A and B are shown apart, each in its own frame.
Chain A
Amino acid sequence: MSQNDDHKPDDIALIGEYALHLLDADERRVVDQRLLAEPALRALLRDWDEGFVPLADEFDEVAPPSTLKAQIEAQLFADTKLASLWSRLFAWNAAWVAVAAVVVAFVGVQLFTDTNAPTYVAEIVAEDRGLVVQARFDPKTANLDISRVIGSISSGRSHELWLIIPESKAVVSLGVMPVTQQGVMVVPKQYRAQMIGGTLAISDEPLGGSPTGVATGAILAIGGVVLL
Chain B
Amino acid sequence: MTSVSDIENMIVRTGIGDRKAFSLLYVATSSKLFGVCLRVLNNRAEAEDALQDVYVKIWQKADRYSANGYSPMTWLITIARNQAIDRLRARKAPVKNIDDVVDLADSGPTPETAAIQRSERAQIDGCLNELDVVHADAVRGAYLNGDSYQELADSAGVPINTMRTWLRRSLGKLKECLGR
Contact = CB atoms under 8 A, between A and B. Distances in A.
The judgment on whether A and B are partners is yes
Interface in A71-118: 71-73, 75-77, 84, 87-88, 90-92, 94, 96-97
Contact of B175 (A4, A58, A73): A4
Interface string A116-131: 0000000000000000
A68 B52 contact: yes
A3 B175 contact: no
Which among A20, A43, A60, A77 has the greatest number of chain B C-beta atoms within 10 A? A20
A49 interface: yes
Contact of A51 (B31, B63, B86, B175): B175
Given A72-B26, A75-B52, A60 B74 contact: no
A54 to B, nearest CB: 4
B175 A12 contact: yes
A22 B148 contact: yes
Interface stretch (B3-11, B91-99, B165-173): B165-173
A61 B70 contact: no
A58 B144 contact: yes
Interface string B127-159: 000000000000110111010110000000000
User: Which of A4, A50, A51, A64 gathers the greatest number of chain B CB atoms within 10 Å?
Assistant: A64
Contacts of A88: 17
B111 interface: no
Contact of B69 (A46, A73, A97): A46
Contacts of A9: 172
Nearest to A97: B60
Chain B contact residues (Cβ within 8 angstroms of A): what range?
35 or more
B19 A87 contact: yes
Contact of B32 (A3, A59, A68, A73): A59
Interface residues of A, number: 53
A20 B35 contact: no
Contact of B82 (A21, A64, A68): A21
Contacts of A64: 30-31, 34, 48, 51
Contact of A59 (B23, B74, B144, B174): B144
A228 to B, nearest CB: 34
Q: Which of A1, A21, A84 has the most CB of B within 10 A?
A: A21
B59 A62 contact: no
Contact of A3 (B63, B168, B179): B179
A57 interface: yes
Closest 3 CB pairs of A and B: A16-B171, A87-B17, A91-B17
20 contacts: A1-B179, A4-B176, A13-B172, A17-B168, A20-B139, A21-B82, A21-B142, A21-B146, A51-B175, A53-B73, A53-B74, A54-B124, A56-B143, A62-B102, A62-B103, A62-B105, A63-B105, A76-B56, A77-B19, A87-B19
Interface of A: 1-4, 9, 12-13, 16-17, 19-22, 25, 42-43, 46-65, 68-69, 71-73, 75-77, 84, 87-88, 90-92, 94, 96-97
Interface of B: 16-19, 23, 26-27, 30-32, 34-36, 38-39, 48, 51-52, 55-56, 59-60, 63, 68-71, 73-74, 77-78, 81-82, 85-86, 89, 102-105, 107-108, 117, 120-121, 123-124, 139-140, 142-144, 146, 148-149, 167-169, 171-172, 174-176, 178-179
